[in-house]
Amino acid sequence: MTTDNELVFLPLGGSGEIGMNMNMYGIGPAHARQWLMIDCGVTFGDLRTPGIDLICPDPAYILDDVADTDGEFLGLVLTHGHEDHIGAVARLWPMLKCPLYATAFTAELVRRKLDEENLKHVPITIVEMGATFSIGPFDLEFVTLTHSIPEPNGVILRTSFGTVLHTGDWKIDTSPALGPLTDSDKLSALGHDGVLAMICDSTNVLSPGESGSEMGVKENLASLIASQKGKVAVTTFASNVGRLVSICDAAVQNDRAICLLGRSMLRMVDVARQTGILPSGLTFVEPNEAGYLPNDKVLYLCTGSQGEPRAALARIARDDHPDITLGEGDTVIFSSKIIPGNEREIFDLQNALVDQGIEIITEKDEHIHVSGHPCRDELVKMYEWVKPETAIPVHGEARHLEEHAKLAKELGAKHSIAPRNGYLIRLAPGTPKVIDEVPSGRLLLDGKVFVSEASTSIRERRKLGYGGQITIAIAFDERPELIAPPEISLAGVPEEDNHGEEFQTLIEDIVEEAVDNLPRRRREDDDELTKVVRRAVRDVLIARWGKRSSIDVLIIRS
């Protein structure tokens, strides 16, 4: 790498994927860079990571770079409070040990997460909306945007090399349910003065038109709830406080008391109230009181829009909520979209509700949800305002990034680079380009322990999920002869094959036969014996079952 003074950008999460955002900006020569991090989020485990709930970007490259050079890690700036932007802060802060910068609402969400990890003295600087502040060689300014959570900000980075706009998540909502409008004047002034590069949200680049306004959703929710005669439950993303307020307003208009259900719903409303975002006068009834109200006088605002098994709505669907029951004549409104990957869980939840006679209404049926990310026409407007020389799409899968890079060139950007996690991009001086590819792994939270994505334990779990586990214990006397028949333990293996023969008995016989056929010299070699037994068992499994199990062989000698 070059040793010249330069401005670089390095995504360590969120490029080539949606979620787990972590972006680095560095100033200085390669041997002495000053690094600034923007956002530190999580993504969630799936079938490819059995037993894993949370996944964090791995900041090892930056920490190693600072430790091995004269570099410096200056701090972490948070654009807003969604989990894919703040969810890893409390988990990774013991490694990062840096000051944090955020608006009041985002800071309070982070502070509560830090408290849960018993991190009581983390330095957090509260930054006002639209404020300017400096961190090392970076002169920063928040620019107000609209999104699906309070206090979303773009970050303007002014440096000796030029100005960069890091948008974070945004949309253009001309009538939001909560909070100010997008500061288009500041964005236009920024474009007039000249922008070296814009690092920009790509989530909805493949969607034509505009994402739509929250006010339209609010009006439709009020009309929809007015037409319901029984109990109504509405589920949405708890972080979308504007949507929560719209739902509450719709309930009040229809003379329904509001009952909050779910820990994240209660936490988000509490933080919004504490930071002065929640409108005054909103009142709520407790779950144990709501059950005594007439059916047409109550609205339940629930967690669980993505089918989460421990969320309030899932408990209602299983009929095991301690206070709430729904049934024939009642309605559940999904004021949310399906996040890719959650389809099965959501459809299972909806089917369970329908089986109880509950009517389901989704955003496919009514206009009751809008995205928090910019569709194509909104991206066009942002480029008209900002006029960046270089476009660097982030926050998207490969198809989103490549399409966004193409669109940016059509909209007048001189250069566009569609990065992947680990691409070290020199923004200035000279023509922007990828100058290196650095490690950018993932840290998987396995219970309370971080493991790498290449961990043997994760690979073994995948194997176990496919073919189960067979444990074989073989005991020999000094001759060596079997003292007793082999002990076989099966987990995740069918009880019998298609001919009705039990696998337990079949494997016992195969192991005993394999041992009997070995000469004494080979029986005395544990490694050789283990190979022969595994091969014999694996062959019969493939022939009778068509699958491979994980096979452990325990050899006991007297």
Interior/surface letters 49-84, b for 16+ CB within 10 angstroms, e for the rest: beebebbbbbbbbbbebbeeeebbbbbbbbbbbbbb
CA distance 36 to 26: 6
User: Is 19 in the same domain as 156?
Assistant: yes
Taking the mean position of all CA atoms in its chain, how far away is CA 339?
10
**Which of 320, 332, 356, 323 minimizes the C-alpha distance to 230?**
332
Amino acid at 286: E
User: Is 38 in the same domain as 87?
Assistant: yes
User: Is 448 in the same domain as 500?
Assistant: no
CA distance 440 to 57: 7
pLDDT of residue 1: 42
Length of the chain: 558
Model confidence over 376-434: pLDDT tens digits?
A: 999 999 999 999 999 999 999 999 999 999 999 999 999 999 999 999 999 999 999 99
User: Is 244 in the same domain as 318?
Assistant: yes
Q: What is the DSSP string of 314-326?
A: HHHHTT--SS---
Burial class for 479, CB neighbours closer than 10 Å (0-12, 13-18, 19+): exposed
pLDDT of residue 34: 98
Q: Which residues contact 406 (CB under 8 A, 6 or more apart)?
A: 416
User: Is 219 in the same domain as 205?
Assistant: no
Helix 241-253 to helix 214-226 angle (10° resolution) is: 30
User: Is 247 in the same domain as 157?
Assistant: no
**Any domain includes 462:** no
Q: Which pairs with CB-CB distance under 8 Å and at least 24 residues apart come from 268-271?
A: 268/238, 268/239, 268/241, 268/244, 269/241, 269/244, 271/105, 271/108, 271/109, 271/112
Q: Domain holding 533: CATH number?
A: 3.10.20.580
User: Is 339 in the same domain as 423?
Assistant: no
Interior/surface letters 330-360, b for 16+ CB within 10 angstroms, e for the rest: bbbbbbbbbeeebeebbeebbebbeebebbe
User: Is 66 in the same domain as 201?
Assistant: yes
Model confidence over 79-93: pLDDT tens digits?
A: 999 999 999 999 999
Q: Which of 452, 483, 514 is the last residue of a domain?
A: 452
Query: Rounded to the nearest 5°, which phi and psi values hold at 422?
Result: 100, -10
**Any domain includes 177:** yes
Taking the mean position of all CA atoms in its chain, how far away is CA 466?
25
Taking the mean position of all CA atoms in its chain, how far away is CA 67?
29
**Any domain includes 459:** no
Give, for 503, the enclosing helix (H) or strand (E). Answer: helix 503-516
Q: Domain holding 385: CATH number?
A: 3.60.15.10
3-class SS of residue 55: strand
User: Is 73 in the same domain as 203?
Assistant: yes
**Any domain includes 62:** yes
Q: Domain holding 221: CATH number?
A: 3.40.50.10710
User: Is 13 in the same domain as 112?
Assistant: yes
User: Is 195 in the same domain as 282?
Assistant: no
pLDDT of residue 102: 98
Taking the mean position of all CA atoms in its chain, how far away is CA 549?
32
Task: Please give the DSSP secondary-structure letter assigned to residue 496.
Answer: B
Q: Which domain holds residue 495?
A: 468-557
Q: Which of 399, 427, 452 is the last residue of a domain?
A: 452
**Any domain includes 259:** yes
User: Is 96 in the same domain as 200?
Assistant: yes
Structural domains counted in the chain: 3
State which residues of the chain have pLDDT below 50: 1-2
**Any domain includes 41:** yes
**Any domain includes 460:** no
CA distance 463 to 400: 32
**Any domain includes 458:** no
Q: Which of 452, 486, 519 is the last residue of a domain?
A: 452
CA distance 165 to 157: 6
**Which of 139, 186, 141, 142 minimizes the C-alpha distance to 159?**
139
Q: What is the DSSP string of 336-375?
A: S-PPTT-HHHHHHHHHHHHHTT-EEE-TTTSS----SS--
3-class SS of residue 54: strand
Interior/surface letters 155-181, b for 16+ CB within 10 angstroms, e for the rest: bbbbbebbbbbbbbbbbbbeebbbbee
